[in-house]
């Protein structure tokens, strides 16, 4: 377990680090489909302003992961902008982030279910959500940044 990790609300000083998480246009598309690569502080701040509960995972002063809530409905919270720094991937940081987002959604918003959306080409994301117990419940056809068909898979996790 990652006992050296902290979870807290995002601060303005965290934004440059978060902007560096998406190392390619494809990674940025998974994180924020409407954003332009490379992600900059202005785009990220605008996205944060339209969402709630933007949060980071840190180890000491180093920002390692980011997520927020972009929709609340019928006892469910939708988590989006999920991103992990390249150097922190495959170390349990994303799982820690999603567990803390689930706790926040339940405690602050009374959520009984956490929902996420993940593009079919984002294998790492789909593997993560599957390992955490999320199950698909809907599919949405989209066009990617090159106007090619892509599938957005909506997943959910019941909260106890």
- What is the count of structural domains for the chain? 1
Whether residue 1 lies inside any domain: the answer is: no
158 with 102: CB under 8 angstroms?
A: no
Q: What is the mean pLDDT of each run of 10 residues along the chain (160 residues)?
A: 88 98 95 95 97 98 97 96 97 97 98 98 96 98 92 96
Q: What is the pLDDT of residue 2?
A: 65
Q: What is the pLDDT of residue 146?
A: 87
Integer CA distances (angstroms), 34 to 17, 79, 144, in order: 19, 16, 10
Whether residue 18 lies inside any domain: the answer is: yes
Q: What is the pLDDT of residue 140?
A: 98
Rounded distance, CA 76 to CA 57, Å? 22
Whether residue 114 lies inside any domain: the answer is: yes
Whether residue 136 lies inside any domain: the answer is: yes
Q: What is the pLDDT of residue 1?
A: 57
Whether residue 70 lies inside any domain: the answer is: yes
Whether residue 53 lies inside any domain: the answer is: yes
Q: What is the pLDDT of residue 77?
A: 98
Q: What is the pLDDT of residue 160?
A: 82
Whether residue 31 lies inside any domain: the answer is: yes
Whether residue 128 lies inside any domain: the answer is: yes
Quote the domain boundaries for residue 95: 6-158
What CATH number is attached to the domain comprising 22?
A: 3.40.630.30
Which residues lie across from 69 on neighbouring strands?
Answer: 52, 79
Rounded distance, CA 18 to CA 30, Å? 14
């Amino acid at each position: 377990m990652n006992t050296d990790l902290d979870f807290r609300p995002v601060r303005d000083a965290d934004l440059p680090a978060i902007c560096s998480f998406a190392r390619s246009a494809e990674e940025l598309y998974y994180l924020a489909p409407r954003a332009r690569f490379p992600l900059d502080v202005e785009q990220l701040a605008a996205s944060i302003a339209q969402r709630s509960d933007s949060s980071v995972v840190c180890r000491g002063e180093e920002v390692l992961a980011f997520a927020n809530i972009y929709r609340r409905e019928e006892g469910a919270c939708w988590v989006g902008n999920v991103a992990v720094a390249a150097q922190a991937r495959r170390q349990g940081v994303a799982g820690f982030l999603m567990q803390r987002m689930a706790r926040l959604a339940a405690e602050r918003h009374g959520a009984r279910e956490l929902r996420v959306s993940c593009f079919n080409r984002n294998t790492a994301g789909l593997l993560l959500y599957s390992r955490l117990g999320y199950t698909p419940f809907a599919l949405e056809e989209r066009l990617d940044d090159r106007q090619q068909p892509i599938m957005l898979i909506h997943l959910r996790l019941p909260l106890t």
